[in-house]
Structure 1
Amino acid sequence: MRPSRSRQGFTLIELLIVVVIIGILAALAIPKFQSTKGKAYAAALKSDLKNVASMQEDYFYYNETYAANVGALSFSSTNGVTINIAEADGRGWSATSTHPAAFPLTCAVYYGQAAPLGGATAEGVVHCQ
């Protein structure tokens, strides 16, 4: 008579069930994660434009005109965010911000008598599209 052997480990069916459950959970979580990343990029774009607006007002106080480029403001944007000042003079300024991972999202703002950009319809309000 043979002594009974104790079986250790998992069966193939048990392992397949675990893999399927993990796959289902991943399929639910990944789109949610992508949406969250998109919202974070949009927040960075808006935040950088608001910071540029604050620095533009400081620049105007000392120079009686707005800075025509971000370099004149000594502004350091969030990683990957590109700020482009489209128009700037003593009457107002306008700018856009983009991020390569957030493409095609672009945010814009204008102040004073500068031409509105990218769907911005209210002065000083950052608009993204």
Structure 2
Amino acid sequence: MKKVTRSEEEWRALLSPEEYYVVRQKGTERPFTGRYNDTFAPGIYRCVGCGTPLFASDTKFDAGCGWPSYFQPLNPDNVREEPDTSHGMVRTEVLCNVCDAHLGHVFPDGPPPTGLRYCINSLSLKFEPQDQ
């Protein structure tokens, strides 16, 4: 897998200020405000930073948490998980394994078959609808 690296200046030119805050500064969008929270059309969710395919619509579910949620990544090699102890919590951060973009967090309270809930910021994603 070839890593994508850019300078901070290049990231700022590529991303909106809101996207930059989330994917480069590990920010979080407010719940129920994301552009894909209520999107359930067939397609692929790609990394906003590098275009890597991350999640498929057939793994998306309504978790009621206010962020797009998926029970598994499209390809486990495309995401990376790291411990996150910020804000006085112990969580598992999810990052794009190609460009190191912060995507969100994964929790062990999702539906079958994995029991996982990948809680992902819409600002870290770009939706590619399936051709009809």
Q: TM-score higher than 0.5 here?
A: no
- TM score, norm. by length of structure 2: 0.27
**Structure number having the greater helix percentage:** 1
Structure of greater Rg: 1
- TM score, norm. by length of structure 1: 0.28
